[in-house]
């Protein structure tokens, strides 16, 4: 049963779960009589008075400013979801500031656990932030740090990999439009669009169409230099409670020649891992691949 002081309950539960060393404070020589951090320590970390923080925990203050909420969230090491919950409790709207996507241990572990199928994750600007070895065997473009729009439009080797290149590019730009239309707007998007418009007339023409499509699923036809032609369907997934980052999973039709091709790629990955060599991958130009790893670009699905 929830009490009538949810703000205080949230702050106290989090404070008591943290140790001084978790927030960069010395533990000290004396054993603590209470678990977790002291209220005074949280107040110092947040840059507010101990009396004000006490009033928050006791429920005597229920409407702190957005700045105070952000400071307390930092002090107590809240993740974004918990900070938004605190904002909701005090009557503030969720923070819609765009924050860079990062490959957390959970995200990386999930993607790598999908060892039987190519999988990677990208951020809102369609830059890869995590991938498994099988995805990188399909294409080096699925390497973390690669901006997939650059590769899709500027790398001739990647263009040769896709038998449905034109469809892939159209779908990708429409997907980027959908990302751009979803608030909050990413401040890096205008620079990316300007860069790509100057670098590729085809991208500029597709962007000017103003087509908006989520492209949560689809099929790509590939001509791989090691295993030949095959088809892969892709599905985009999101972590619960968030639409960023996006996990993209490729899968062939069961029992098809495409499944056999993926199985050959997977065998090559296993052999390479055992020998310490790089796995099979489509050949990309070193120069273009290096350029695609620079900041701000988009996705080749």
pLDDT confidence of residue 278: 61
pLDDT confidence of residue 10: 93
pLDDT confidence of residue 171: 92
pLDDT for residue 283 is more than 90: no
| Ramachandran category for residue 255: left, alpha or beta (phi over 0 → left; psi -120 to 50 → alpha) | left
| β-sheet bridge partners, residue 162 | 222
The whole-model pTM stands at: 0.65
What rounded mean pLDDT belongs to the chain?
A: 83
275, 129 Cβ separation under 8 angstroms: no
Alpha helices in 200-280, H assignment, sequence order: 201-208, 257-275
Average pLDDT over residues 277-291: 46
- Least confident stretch, 131-140, 206-215, 240-249: 240-249
Average pLDDT over residues 187-215: 90
Average pLDDT over residues 205-232: 91
Q: Considering only residues 205 and 236, tell me which one the structure prediction assigns the higher pLDDT.
A: 205
Greatest Cα pair distance in the chain: 69
The helix/strand/coil state of 129 is strand
- Least confident stretch, 130-139, 217-226, 271-280: 271-280
Q: Considering only residues 22 and 287, tell me which one the structure prediction assigns the higher pLDDT.
A: 22
Q: Considering only residues 213 and 231, tell me which one the structure prediction assigns the higher pLDDT.
A: 231
pLDDT for residue 294 is more than 50: no
Peptide bond into 245 cis (omega under 30): yes
Average pLDDT over residues 244-260: 91
pLDDT confidence of residue 71: 92
pLDDT confidence of residue 238: 75
Overall residue count recorded for the chain in this entry: 301
Confidence of residue 277 (pLDDT cuts 50, 70, 90): low
Tens digit of each residue's pLDDT (9 = 90 or more) over 219-244: 999 999 999 999 999 998 875 545 56
Tens digit of each residue's pLDDT (9 = 90 or more) over 32-88: 666 789 999 999 999 999 999 999 999 999 999 999 999 999 999 888 778 888 999
Confidence of residue 98 (pLDDT cuts 50, 70, 90): low
pLDDT for residue 7 is more than 90: yes
Strand order in the sheet with 246-251: 128-131, 119-122, 246-251, 228-238, 217-224
pLDDT confidence of residue 246: 87
Q: What's the count of helices (H) and strands (E) in the chain, helices before strands?
A: 14, 5
pLDDT for residue 139 is more than 90: yes
């Amino acid at each position: 049963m929830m009490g009538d002081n949810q703000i205080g309950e949230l702050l106290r539960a989090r404070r008591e779960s943290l140790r001084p060393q978790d927030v960069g404070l010395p533990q000290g020589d004396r054993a603590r009589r209470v678990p977790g951090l002291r209220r005074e320590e949280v107040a110092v970390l947040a840059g507010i008075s101990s009396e004000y923080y006490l009033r928050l925990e006791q429920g005597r203050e229920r409407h702190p400013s957005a700045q105070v909420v952000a400071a307390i969230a930092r002090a107590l090491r809240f993740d974004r979801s918990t900070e938004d919950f605190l904002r909701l409790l005090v009557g503030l709207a969720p923070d819609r500031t765009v924050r860079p996507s990062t490959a957390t241990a959970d995200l990386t572990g999930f993607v790598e656990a999908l060892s039987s199928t190519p999988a990677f994750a990208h951020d809102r600007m369609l830059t890869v932030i995590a991938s498994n070895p099988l995805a990188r065997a399909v294409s080096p473009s699925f390497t973390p740090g690669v901006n997939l729009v650059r590769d899709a439009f500027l790398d001739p080797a990647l263009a040769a990999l896709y038998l449905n290149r034109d469809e892939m590019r159209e779908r990708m730009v429409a997907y980027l439009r959908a990302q751009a239309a979803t608030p909050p707007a990413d401040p890096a998007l205008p620079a990316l669009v300007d860069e790509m418009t100057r670098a590729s007339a085809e991208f500029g023409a597709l962007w000017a169409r103003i087509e908006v499509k989520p492209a949560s699923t689809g099929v790509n036809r590939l001509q791989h230099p090691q295993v030949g032609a095959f088809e892969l369907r892709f599905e985009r997934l999101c972590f619960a409670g968030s639409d960023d980052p996006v996990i993209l999973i490729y899968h062939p039709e069961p029992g098809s020649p495409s499944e056999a091709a993926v199985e050959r790629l997977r065998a090559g990955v296993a052999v390479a891992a055992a020998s310490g060599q790089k796995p099979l991958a489509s050949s990309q130009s070193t120069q273009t691949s290096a350029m695609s790893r620079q900041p701000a670009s988009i996705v080749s699905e």
